[in-house]
Structure 1
Amino acid sequence: MKKIFLFALTALVAVPALAQKAGQPVPRPKLVVGIVVDQMRYDYLYRYWAKYGTGGFRRLLGQGFSFESCNFNFVPTYTGPGHASIYTGATPAVNGIIGNNWFERESGRDTYVTEDKTVQPVGGSLAAGQMSPRHMLSTTIGDELRLATNFQSKVIGLSMKDRGSILPAGHAATAAYWYDGTNGAFTTSTFYMPQLPGWVAAFNQQERAAQYLSKPWETLLPLAQYTESTADDVPWESSFRGEKTPTFPHDLPSLSAAPPAAVTALTTAAGETTPKASPRNLDLIRSTPFGNSLTADFALETLRAEQLGQRPGITDMLAVSFSSTDYVGHQFGPNSVEAQDTYLRLDRDLARLLSAIDKAVGKGNALVFLTADHGAANAVGFLQEHRLPAGGVGNISMRDSVQLALTRRHGPGKWVLDFGNLQVYLNRPLLAKKGLDLAKTQAEVAALLLPLPGVAQTRTATDLQNAHWSEGQGMLQENGFFAPRSGDVLVTLLPGWLEAYSYPVIKGTTHGTTWAYDTHVPLLFWGWRVKHGESATPVRVVDIAATVARFLHIQEPSGSSGVPLVEVLK
């Protein structure tokens, strides 16, 4: 009955949209702009409200439509799965993006989410450039827009992170660009093109990353006004390498003077001029708010140079992901002055972008949505200082405890091939050689992990393949499980607990769990035919692609399980 009701509502909202004279094209916005803010928790919309200007977050909320209860319906909540689910409308169980990286049983090694050794870099280093969306197993909303317009629409993704650009852009994208810290340039791969367009090469030659890093990072407002944040110097924040304390001002010219630990040799496509590797550490800009400013600069230049949304009857799409919020959040935590300053500066960058969109295609002619790829936990030290439950676990220690226990029970051998994304990958050939049943060994490992500190529950791959959950932790893990790539045993941590990569030292924060601070994210629609309003109706991130498809009157992505959000479509 519920599905029938939703269908009826969807049908009702479609009639006015298509009421027009015969022979006229289907009404569509000139431009669709998807904005993903990496590691943006829902509460950031309101925590810094008094300090935001009028042209960024306040404009989106004041003129657009906000879904106040938008959550991810799967785990793990990482950058790769988050971006993929937003644009495919599918969970990792369908689109195959189960993490930023995962253990590949066929090759016996970890693989990266956008890694592709069959392509070559264009405009950057080998390590940064061998990337494509080949691991993603379903189409994106951008792919469907290209298909619907017989590939006349331009679809372009851009981000500091390769995965923040490539996964949103999709398989049939016109282009995807990401940042290479070895030369301070935006790069791409031969998956998209043989050489950079002239306007991208010209933008890179301006060396804007170096310009941003030529001045110290000082607070935008007087430090005393950052009343929404903790003190500037607290023990649970990480300092930049070369700093004694994690405090303002951050001396970016000195910190970026030393080159990165390893600079990969640059390679070029035939006939292309590529910036040389920099003697400075231009990768540092990622961990400052100026990485977002550089992204906004490049987005504005993309709008201008590609003339997006300015061809009669053709809808283009731009997917922009702001990544520096994630780097800053990891290093300093959600309650830091650095995080607040980064969001105040991002607010100004958003204002620039929205203003440029209005200028390019006219007010009300672009459909914009803003969301996040995941949230983040509060820093463990911050929570513990206030007597709130929290803690950290170490992947290596958990892996070793399982390995030791299995060795004691079943004899010597490398029983655990990998432990990542809170998943255990067992040595299945060794189990077969020893005559051990896979399902029983999975259950054994699940029982071994359950008593460890911070573990809330464990679940085996066999259970996930043979059972079904419609809600709760089981549903979240089932939706994030893809048998060819996922592990044998999956672990859920207690609320407030996180994977500490430098365990037992726990600095900054991370994400990836099933809890609301990781799954609850903003969802705003603004612009073309979007009325002002808000809703507390629970919605899912996978509903975004279906909603955009409904706005455009095109097919939803191939693996989509989302439904159009009728409240914003009315």
Structure 2
Amino acid sequence: MKKIMSIVLLCSLFVANAQKKPKLVVGIVVDQMRYDYLLRFKDKFGSKGFNKLIADGTTYENGHYNYIPTYTAVGHTSVYTGTTPKNHGIISNNWYDKFEKKSIYVVDDHNYKTVGSTSKEGEKSPYRLIASTIADQLKVSQDFKGKSIGIAIKDRSAILPVGHTADVAYWFDGGKNGKWVTSSFYTDKLPNWVSLYNTENKLKLDEYLASPWVTKEKLEEYTECTTDNHYFEGTFKEEDKPVFPHNLPHLKEKNGNYSLLKTTPFGNSITLDFAKQIIKNEKLGKDKTYSDFLAVSLSSTDYIGHKYGPASLEIQDTYLRLNDDLDDFIDFLNRKVGNDNYVLFLTADHAVVQIPHYLIDHKAPGGYFSNKKLYQKLMDFTFKKYKSTKLIENISNNQVFLNRKEISSLSLDIETLENELIEVLINYKDIHKAVSAHTLQRTEFTKAPLSLLQEGYNQKLSGDVLFTLEPTIIGENYVKGGTTHGTGYNYDTHVPILFYGGNIAKGKVVRKSVNITQIAPTVSNLLRIQEPNMSSLDILTEVFAKDE
């Protein structure tokens, strides 16, 4: 009898657990969000938005990216596949393809056409991604039932998170179009409701561009940032100084018309507005049997961060506005899907470094690096020693690609050449570390930065010699203004990891670094599905029960 009761109890627990499976998972990636923004702007956020997620969900205070390079396409892919570039095959946004002998863009695919406009913005697909995502696994586990949809202003940020099996991914076609579009990889025709929404939404887009971008609060209340008008910040075309107000009606024509919205807080607003329409019209989270997945990426924070830097008034204003938009989106989910019926996670695809000029002005280290000068240095070396100008095929993303045909014709040993180039690199100003592909294949590194380079190194796609720059050194293309990301330093790797929604434990987790690749297996466990095929198996257990 006791045995029977135990079986009944176990079955009851299984049913209870099965009922907790979320009807909808919403993944939000805030492009270029540093973790410390949650701390800097905490008092300004009030009880809404980010602070609501923190108060009522699980917060990881020490979440990091565990590879180099920390770029957008790589970050989104790693979050949703649960693995790093060495496995999933997305090694940058753009990279030198050593098979095609040219630079490629990660989601370009001219086998497909734009759906939703007459531009070429939709000639995209996820074909370069070789790992499955959480969204892929959910579709497979449900015999391709349920819906999986991606949305972002950036095409790569909409496409890569939902993988190969998505019902659709949408991104923003700016210019004179101002429409949400997709690729014929997914469908031959926009749903009627999307076409109607694009038409009606033009009024809202025009409304955003009809008035200047002014600060949400009074300027004197923005005490968590630097002052306005710095020479090291970027400007829009037709704008004399990087100051508020930014006259959007005047700037519109010379700055890409509707594309101007990308570099304003309103780019995030239109993304979340469209996300709400997707949930409503596609009835996400309403199926009694199957779970749905929505991947949302907020791209405008990245465009604004690149132009003005993390200490700027523009960044503070952007995050205060995003906080309100996020709060509104959470309320929408609670009303339309139900508080206990969905799980939301929020993270970032990378963080960002302070503008070097800003640091230098305050007597902190910083500087700018010339890839052209480095290329010339290596060319001079190979010509002097081997009388060849063809040994270096390409230098990009801090990787040196060698010309194997030339190496063979000169009867050179490739490892010897790699090591000679490393000697040149390591003695070059502003370079911190250098390592060869052969070394990465033979040695297991456990300490950064070489361990991070190893996780970012793809044996099939990456270069022959990899190097890192010293902290706060960035490319010289930013010397006239703005900043960037891509390194393995904490300012680029430390990002928020927040979980919220039905059956998510409440609490802050302060312990040794957790990896961004732990998100995918954790969400897979929440959905009770197989984790992505190359995913880490390391689950964030505190999401399920409070850290004691």
TM-score class, shorter-chain normalisation, is: over 0.9
Q: 494, 519, 530: which one pairs with 2:493? A: 519
CA drift of 1:26 comes to 5.3
User: 1:159–1:320: 8 Å Cα contact kept in structure 2?
Assistant: yes
**Is it true that 1:365 corresponds to 2:361 in the alignment?**
no
CA drift of 1:249 comes to 0.4
* Offset from partner CA, 1:259-302 (integer Å, 9 cap, x none): 64xxxxxxxxxxxxxxxxxxxx2111111111111101111111
Alignment partner, residue 295 of structure 2: 319
Q: 57, 78, 84: which one pairs with 1:85? A: 78
Alignment partner, residue 38 of structure 1: 31
Alignment partner, residue 231 of structure 2: 235
Question: Kindly tell me: are residues 304 and 534 of structure 1, through their superposed partners in 2, closer, same or farther at Cα, counting changes over 3 Å?
Answer: same
**RMSD of aligned residue pairs (Cα, Å):** 1.8
Give the alignment of 1:123-272 within 5 angstroms. 123-182=116-175, 183-205=177-199, 206-207=201-202, 208-258=204-254, 260=256
- Give, in whole Å, the separation in 2 of the partners of 1:361 and 1:124: 31
One-letter code aligned to 1:454:
D
- Give, in whole Å, the separation in 1 of the partners of 2:412 and 2:14: 70
TM-score, normalised relative to structure 1: 0.91
User: 2:20–2:502: 8 Å Cα contact kept in structure 1?
Assistant: no
**Is it true that 1:533 corresponds to 2:527 in the alignment?**
no
Give the alignment of 1:376-455 within 5 angstroms. 376-455=352-431
User: 2:309–2:483: 8 Å Cα contact kept in structure 1?
Assistant: yes
CA drift of 1:404 comes to 2.5
CA drift of 1:23 comes to 11
Give the alignment of 1:530-569 within 5 angstroms. 530-537=504-511, 538-569=513-544
CA drift of 1:21 comes to 6.9
CA drift of 1:112 comes to 0.8
User: 2:60–2:497: 8 Å Cα contact kept in structure 1?
Assistant: yes
User: 2:113–2:120: 8 Å Cα contact kept in structure 1?
Assistant: no
Alignment partner, residue 100 of structure 2: 107
CA drift of 1:101 comes to 1.1
**Is it true that 1:304 corresponds to 2:304 in the alignment?**
no
- Give, in whole Å, the separation in 1 of the partners of 2:419 and 2:11: 55
Alignment partner, residue 4 of structure 2: none
**Is it true that 1:59 corresponds to 2:52 in the alignment?**
yes
Total equivalences in the alignment: 534
One-letter code aligned to 1:367:
V
* Offset from partner CA, 1:10-60 (integer Å, 9 cap, x none): xxxxx9997447699553111100000000001011111111142200100
- Give, in whole Å, the separation in 2 of the partners of 1:519 and 1:129: 31
CA drift of 1:128 comes to 1.4
Question: Kindly tell me: are residues 398 and 115 of structure 1, through their superposed partners in 2, closer, same or farther at Cα, counting changes over 3 Å?
Answer: same
One-letter code aligned to 1:425:
F
SS of 1:517 mapped into structure 2: helix
- Give, in whole Å, the separation in 2 of the partners of 1:117 and 1:238: 33
Question: Kindly tell me: are residues 413 and 298 of structure 1, through their superposed partners in 2, closer, same or farther at Cα, counting changes over 3 Å?
Answer: same
Alignment partner, residue 27 of structure 1: 20
One-letter code aligned to 2:448:
G
- Give, in whole Å, the separation in 1 of the partners of 2:10 and 2:515: 24
CA drift of 1:126 comes to 4.7
CA drift of 1:125 comes to 4.8
Deviates more, 1:434-443 or 1:297-306: 434-443
One-letter code aligned to 1:303:
I
TM-score, normalised relative to structure 2: 0.94
Question: Kindly tell me: are residues 21 and 291 of structure 1, through their superposed partners in 2, closer, same or farther at Cα, counting changes over 3 Å?
Answer: closer
CA drift of 1:545 comes to 0.4
Alignment partner, residue 477 of structure 1: 453
Any gaps of 5 or more consecutive residues in structure 1?
1-14, 261-280
CA drift of 1:96 comes to 0.5
- Give, in whole Å, the separation in 1 of the partners of 2:441 and 2:104: 23
- Give, in whole Å, the separation in 2 of the partners of 1:71 and 1:22: 35
SS of 1:522 mapped into structure 2: strand
SS of 2:70 mapped into structure 1: coil
**Is it true that 1:68 corresponds to 2:43 in the alignment?**
no
Give the alignment of 1:484-523 within 5 angstroms. 484-502=460-478, 505-523=479-497
CA drift of 1:145 comes to 0.6
User: 1:417–1:426: 8 Å Cα contact kept in structure 2?
Assistant: yes
* Offset from partner CA, 1:72-125 (integer Å, 9 cap, x none): 111100001100000000100000011001111121111111111211111135
CA drift of 1:314 comes to 1.8
